[in-house]
Amino acid sequence: MPTVGPAPSDLHGRVCVVTGANTGIGLTTAAELARRGAHVVLASRSAEKTRRATDEITRDTGNQQVEFLELDLASFASVRRAAGQLRERDLPIHVLINNAGLAGRGVTADGFEMSFGVNHLGHFLFTMLLLERLRRSAPARVVTVSSVAHYDAVGIDFETLRRPTASRTGLPGYRVSKLANVLFSAELGRRLAGTGVTTYALHPGVIATDIWRRIPWPARPLIAAFMKSADEGAQTTLHCATAADLATESGLYYDKCQPRTPSLLAQDATLARELWRRSEAWTDADALP
């Protein structure tokens, strides 16, 4: 497995949780964190694929602290089980990387448009359930993988998010979910100011990964023809998760390992608060233990 990013930093004693870590950017990210000495939890849906990934990472890095956590972000029940399993352990969480995602059609187990339900709501609930552990582990970071696609979102129609994907390709819904990622990261950063937990949203590049598996033919191969590799895509994620000079920054959006101004909608604090309010109600996050 190739290495990516800048010169290794020592992450021994640090615990990193990476969602969607059995393939693509998530796998590359998890492997590099393990190579730098971190205890890495790969939170993914498929036990078979993720155990193959943990075995591969352990073999290639020599790091024995690499483990699987079953997590299906399309199901609030699964998100609660996974977070509960982490909270039951005497294990700090220093870095949470909300990496998993998809683009395409469908509806989640809880009745939400698929891209929004997985890319935003699942991660919102997972983060909320782990927030107290992150605070106790501070300094800690929450890194959310968004996309440059958020610039093309024309707004958030909250009523349509309770229905199956309307478009044929699913791309409009994907753009909204990525806008939600940036809004969530910025609002979380504001709410966590002074706690030692910092937040980062980022564009990894347009990467050829399983995120596009639900895009129908013939759009999928046309999109994939212009994509970069997962190794290239992991660089900004790793930068946000580990770079020492980012320790005092929070709530910003990054591209190519540099801060970048997000869309005007993504800077709308009123929209961010409304998204938070609705996300909290939809996931019942305001009744967390």
Yes or no: say if 158 and 179 are a contact pair by the CB < 8 Å rule: no
Task: State the distance between the two ends of the chain, measured CA to CA, in whole angstroms.
Answer: 40
What span, in angstroms and rounded, lies between the C-alpha atoms of 82 and 98? Answer: 14
DSSP label at 244? G
Tokens of residue 72, six digits? 């299906």
> Is 174 known to be catalytic?
yes
Helices (H), strands (E): how many in the chain?
A: 9, 8
| Neighbour-count burial of 59, counting CB atoms closer than 10 A to its CB (0-12 exposed, 13-18 middle, 19+ buried) | exposed
Tokens of residue 246, six digits? 């980012």
Sole residue written with tokens 């220093």: 94
CA-nearest of 85, 87, 190, 92 to 139 is 92
Yes or no: say if 101 and 72 are a contact pair by the CB < 8 Å rule: no
Sole residue written with tokens 């990013």: 5
User: Which residue among 151, 174, 200, 253 is the active-site one?
Assistant: 174
Yes or no: say if 18 and 46 are a contact pair by the CB < 8 Å rule: no
Neighbouring residues of 102: CB distance < 8 A, sequence distance ≥ 6: 114, 115, 118, 119, 210, 211, 212, 213, 214
Tokens of residue 58, six digits? 């352990």
Q: Which amino acid is residue 121, in one-letter code?
A: L
Neighbouring CB atoms inside 10 A of 289's CB total 7
Tell me which residues are annotated as active site: 174
